[in-house]
Amino acid sequence: MKRTITFFVLLLMGSVLYAQCPGNAAGVYYRLDWNASSLQYEFYVVRCPSAAPPVTVAGTSTVTIVFPNDPSDTRTVTHTSESVSNYNAAGEVRGPSAAPGLDYYVFNSTGGSSLIGVLNDGVEVLWMTFAPSDGNDQARLFINGGDPGPGEPGMNGIDGTQAFNIITTAGVANEYNGILNLEEEQALTDITIYPNPASDTIYLEGLQGAISSIEIFSITGQLVKQIEKDFVTINVKPLETGVYFLKINSKDKQRILKFIKE
């Protein structure tokens, strides 16, 4: 039995649905599954159609997996490289002050292995696996721009930013394009939140088309509020102080925005 972990960084339960490239997307997407039989996570990579020249060699790469904080500080996370690139543990940060409820485990690869015939457009590849010593099944992938950067309090200079560099006939390029949703996840690029941070009310500016719903998730992936109407003005006063993600849903598109509740 597997649990698919999707929607940007949020933890959702469900059966395994294999990834498909969204629309006209290009670049590399990640997906993380929990396999309850083997008590390990399966990490998949899919390369969507791209105008870039063919991939030839793997460049440097970073994969970061995020768990709820282990108060005992005894959890270890082992990994295997199932496919091409060999990864090494590049640091772990337990309950940093920037995100005290989370533990970060970072893995890096220096690359160098041939990718010819490995990353074909639209074909998902089992890239590596992770096995937590405590069997915790609530992990997710690091969110670029959402999780703390190396300079934020308590991160000890460790950079968990997801990256997937490739070497093509035209040179080196970072093809990382996000965490693949089971549905098309395309940006509603004109939407902004203000004020941010906010204490009582946030306003959405630039909404276009038919918005079906808006959901607010905590930084640990818990759904804390769902909105079915009045999408422009949102009351956030009942929320606890912290970082939240706003998921805006339309018929065939989604947008994830981060805001801070003071």
Q: Are residues 14 and 143 both part of a single domain?
A: yes
pLDDT number for residue 84 = 78
Cβ contact 50:173 at 8 Å:
no
Structural domain ending residue among the three candidates 179, 206, 225? 179
Q: Specify whether 117 is located in the same domain as 174.
A: yes
207 and 172 housed in the same domain: no
What 33-39 contacts at long range (C-beta under 8 Å, 24+ apart), as own/partner pairs, is 33/2, 33/3, 33/4, 33/5, 34/2, 34/3, 34/5, 34/137, 34/139, 35/1, 35/2, 36/1, 36/2, 36/3, 36/137, 37/1, 38/129, 38/131, 39/131, 39/135
Residues 52, 156 within the same domain: yes
Residue 37 pLDDT grade (very low, low, confident, very high; cuts 50, 70, 90): confident
Q: Which residue range is the domain that position 152 belongs to?
A: 2-179
Both structure tokens of 129: 């696996």
128 and 52 within one domain: yes
Q: Are residues 17 and 57 in the same domain?
A: yes
Domain-located, residue 255: yes
Given a contact cutoff of 8 angstroms between Cβ atoms, the answer to whether 160 and 141 are in contact is no
The pLDDT of residue 200: 94
**Residue 187 domain-assigned (yes or no):** no
Residue 9 has pLDDT above 50, yes or no: no
Query: pLDDT by residue (tens digit) across 186-244?
Result: 334 567 888 999 999 999 887 666 678 888 988 767 789 988 877 788 999 999 998 88
Question: Is the same domain home to 134 and 243?
Answer: no
Share of the chain above pLDDT 90, in %: 40
pLDDT digits over 228-245, tens only? 877 788 999 999 998 888
Per-residue pLDDT tens digits for 81-127: 777 789 999 999 999 999 999 999 999 999 888 888 787 777 788 89
- Among 179, 204, 227, identify where a domain stops: 179
Residues 165 and 118 in one domain: yes
* Chain length of the chain: 262
Helix (H, G, I), strand (E, B) or coil at 147: coil
- In-domain check, residue 185: no
Q: Which residue, 179, 209, 231, sits at the end of a domain?
A: 179
Question: Are residues 141 and 250 part of one domain?
Answer: no
Predicted local confidence at residue 237, as pLDDT: 94
Does some domain include residue 80? Answer: yes
| 153 and 75 share one domain | yes
Into how many domains does the chain fold? 2
Domain match, 167 and 197 both = no
3-state secondary structure at position 42 = strand
Pair (108, 224) in one structural domain: no
List, for residues 150-179, the tens digit of each pLDDT value. 999 999 999 999 999 988 878 888 989 888
Confirm whether 213 is domain-assigned. Answer: yes
Residue 184 lies in a domain: no
Highest average pLDDT, of 30-34, 60-64, 189-193, 244-248, comes from 60-64
